[in-house]
Amino acid sequence: MTEILPASNPDSIRQAKRLLSKGQLVAIPTETVYGLAANAFSEEAVAGIFAVKGRPSNNPLIVHVSSVKMARDCISAWPEEANILAEKFWPGPLSMVLPKSEKISNIVTAGGPTVAVRSPSNPIMKEILEQCGFPLAAPSANLSNRVSPTKAEYVAAQLNGRIPLILDGGACQIGIESTVLDLTSSTPTILRLGLINLAQLQKVLGEVRLASMTGSKEILKSPGQLCRHYSPRAKVILGEGSWDELIINLDKNTHVIALDSVPNDKNPDTWHKMPNSVQGYAKKIYEILNRCDQANAKAILIQPLPVESEWDAVRDRVYRASMN
């Protein structure tokens, strides 16, 4: 059985440090989602992440650091753009892809020459990084391609018995994964959308472009680039055409994720009213998808999202969830 301990207890933090220092895995909350952490400098420890998650070896990991100094230990070149971005967005939900140092094993980067690094703002993750003194590779703490967990209970639902410890730090503040920006291209390129959006990055750097989806056989620089990702067990259906007609013909057992309130003739237990703000929606979407899994939902219908660009990251997540 996996032990679940309150992250507010200093003894829990010390136990996490002991396990990580011995090359074991610990699920730790970040501001985005819960991460499955291992010593990024230990090839054996990182291999454990892939084994526990059932993660394909061609899908690289993000390395979490406590500071720019620790980040520079993981990479071989630190351009001025990285300084500017770290000053503006770190600690926070921005991962930067840079040339990796020799200390980072090829297993972390899926055989590629670059590594994504991020300085998280969650105080629990920050404290563990500072106490450990080494960076942590930490993808989402779930089985490969399944919904990312935003609470400890959702980690346990997928990984109970597979890892020794989950630190319970409550619900994640943001709820979807970080933006990933590639700084090794001629033009800075967003590889994965997050709540730090294109316009914010362009304001800081000037020209920034958005990458297209990649095939599973390409060498990936970042997680979150494959078409299928973040998927619940249920079939996810993106609402198209007339929403009213879709609702009229809705199977009574289908769960609904919607900005609209539940109609009088629909079941409130299977209708999940979402916040109207992009921040509120992002914080809740994985929680609702995980709850649908717990309810053994067979199908989930998602109402179309607003077209404004600030919704791009959330739209990306529900689209990839629908590719199951």
pLDDT digits 0-9 by tens, 214-236: 655 667 888 776 666 678 999 99
| Whole-number pLDDT of residue 227 | 62
Q: Tell me: pLDDT of 237 over 60.
A: yes
**How much is the CA Rg of the chain, to the nearest whole Å?**
19
Residue 287's φ and ψ, nearest 5 degrees, are: -60, -45
| Whole-number pLDDT of residue 249 | 84
Helix, strand, coil distribution of the chain in percent, nearest 5: 30, 20, 50
Give, to the nearest 10 degrees, the angle between helix 312-321 and helix 278-294. Answer: 20
Question: Residue 6: beta bridge partners?
Answer: 168
Structural domains of the chain in order of their starting residue, each with its CATH number: 3-210 (3.90.870.10), 235-321 (3.40.50)
52 contacts 159 by C-beta, under 8 angstroms? yes
Q: Which helix (H) or strand (E) holds 96?
A: strand 94-99
pLDDT digits (tens, 9 = 90+) for 17-76: 999 999 999 999 999 999 999 999 999 999 999 999 999 999 999 999 999 999 999 999
> What whole-number percentage of the chain has pLDDT above 90?
88
Mean pLDDT of 114-139: 98
| Whole-number pLDDT of residue 106 | 97
> What are the angstrom distances between the C-alpha of 224 and each of 33, 128, 139?
13, 25, 10
Closest of 45, 12, 18 to residue 138, by C-alpha: 45
| Whole-number pLDDT of residue 219 | 79
| Whole-number pLDDT of residue 252 | 86
Closest of 216, 217, 215, 222 to residue 191, by C-alpha: 222
134 contacts 41 by C-beta, under 8 angstroms? yes
| Whole-number pLDDT of residue 214 | 61
| Whole-number pLDDT of residue 223 | 77
Quote the CA–CA distance of 106 and 83 in Å, as a whole number.
25
Question: Residue 97: beta bridge partners?
Answer: 116, 182
pLDDT band at 120 (very low <50, low <70, confident <90, very high): very high
- Tell me, yes or no, if the pTM score tops 0.85: yes
Q: Tell me: pLDDT of 2 over 60.
A: yes
